[in-house]
Amino acid sequence: MLNNMKAYLKNWWGDNHLLLLTAVAVLALFVRFYNFENRITFGPEQAISLITSGDMIQNDISLLGQENVQRVTSHGHIIFSGVLFSYTLIPLQILFSYNPISITGYFALLNILTGILIYFLGKQLVSKRIALIASILFLFNFWMIYHSMFIWILNYLPLIGLVTIYLLKQKLSIKNIFYISVLSGLAVSLEYLYIVFSLLTLTYLLAKSKSKIKVFIAFILGNLIGLLPTVLFDLKHDFYHLRTLTQYALDVFHSTSNSKIDYYHFLPLFPLVFLVIAFLLSKYIKNIFVLSLIVFSYIFINLSSPLVSFKHPIGMPEDLTWKQINTFSGAIVENNPQNYNVATLIDFDSRGHVLRYPLTFIFNQSILGPEDYPVADQLFVIADPNYKFHESQNWEVNSLSPFKVDKIDQTAGGHALFKLTRL
């Protein structure tokens, strides 16, 4: 029986790659989309991303991307991302009527597509078996499943990294080098630290090429095209991005910034890492039964990770799903508020962007801006049900003082929506 099982597994790993890849892709779809609307993470970063692109739909297209509310220089200047990510959200918001669930689903599908492409591009770089193993490792990695549950600017980086690696292994013609450099510019627009990988790529290209001047020119031109909106903005605004990022780099160097290197800074390398791991597994584990056992154990361990839940969102209170936030927003509208603002006292973003987005773009409400709390007559706040507003140290709350407090709604999990009315 054991021999029959080994023969069956060997047949699958050896001759049925496409069928197995299809089965893997279906399982990856199930892992990501089961109970999807209750699992997606919709926090301040997602709301700010959608507000930034939504404003471009309703007003004017901008060359400035979204602000990073957690990244400010020692001189008080805000770091803004490149605007290309915001541009990619615009058609999604129009197509899906601003619904974050559907927009998040796009990024889940993007992640699965990247995993499938690891197989089709990887088999040309190594072998079908290695590419298939790498695809499985990628699709069931707990970080990749976690990233599929929210809208994030860095979600494009694994795909960019994969295509870059593929092109680097092809003939290094000027055309391919130009494509690589455009991808580099796009990646820097998404994550400024990618410039480290960009410089390493340039070093590799120069080392491999005889016509170094042509390569250097093609690389610079391609990067400028990938970064074109950011370059145009800097030319019009006294090199704001360049000056701000230079100062922020100095802050990090002098330890006056709280930035640190984390796993997500290496997302472009994830496909390569999984290809290398798959190569090592295929080379040193010849027993097909043992290899299969390792792969199945890997899937089980990753699905058991704290970053994977089939019941609730990760990285935010379990009861504050998008559905509940939307319900709170509807309750605010039912109160027929006038001259009002919103706030949240549950995370680092007290300006209430998770409420601003649905109220503005789904319920078509007119809300006071993030700096207009002192002129508001009403303030709607998500907070702990026992929060002592009259003892609050929060600026948004105190800007309304003196006020009275009314509880509007409450979740079963312990968060409530309050209305503060200026007296």
Q: What is the pTM of this model?
A: 0.91
The residue that leads in pLDDT, 5 or 227, is: 227
User: Which residue's structure tokens are 């870059």?
Assistant: 164
**286-295: pLDDT as tens digits:** 888 888 899 9
Q: Where are the domains of the chain?
A: 37-270, 322-422
Model confidence at 391, pLDDT cuts 50, 70, 90, reads: confident
Is the pLDDT at 16 greater than 90? The verdict is no
Is the pLDDT at 259 greater than 70? The verdict is no
Q: Could you tell me how far CA 119 lies from the centroid of its own chain?
A: 23
Is the pLDDT at 5 greater than 60? The verdict is no
Residue from 286, 278, 16 nearest 122 by CA: 278
Q: How many CB atoms lie within 10 A of CB 314?
A: 17
C-alpha 357/C-alpha 324 separation (Å) is 14
Is residue 353 within 8 Å of 316, Cβ to Cβ? no
Residues in the chain: 423
**Percentage of residues in the chain having pLDDT higher than 70:** 93
pLDDT recorded at residue 295? 92
- Arithmetic mean of pLDDT over the chain: 90
Is the pLDDT at 229 greater than 70? The verdict is yes
C-alpha 213/C-alpha 298 separation (Å) is 46
- Residue 7: both structure tokens together: 């023969």
Q: How many CB atoms lie within 10 A of CB 208?
A: 12
Is residue 73 within 8 Å of 251, Cβ to Cβ? yes
pLDDT recorded at residue 257? 58
Model confidence at 240, pLDDT cuts 50, 70, 90, reads: confident
Is the pLDDT at 195 greater than 70? The verdict is yes
Is residue 41 within 8 Å of 316, Cβ to Cβ? yes
pLDDT recorded at residue 340? 94
pLDDT recorded at residue 379? 94
**100-146: pLDDT as tens digits:** 999 999 999 999 999 999 999 999 999 888 999 999 999 999 999 99
Largest CA distance in the chain: 81
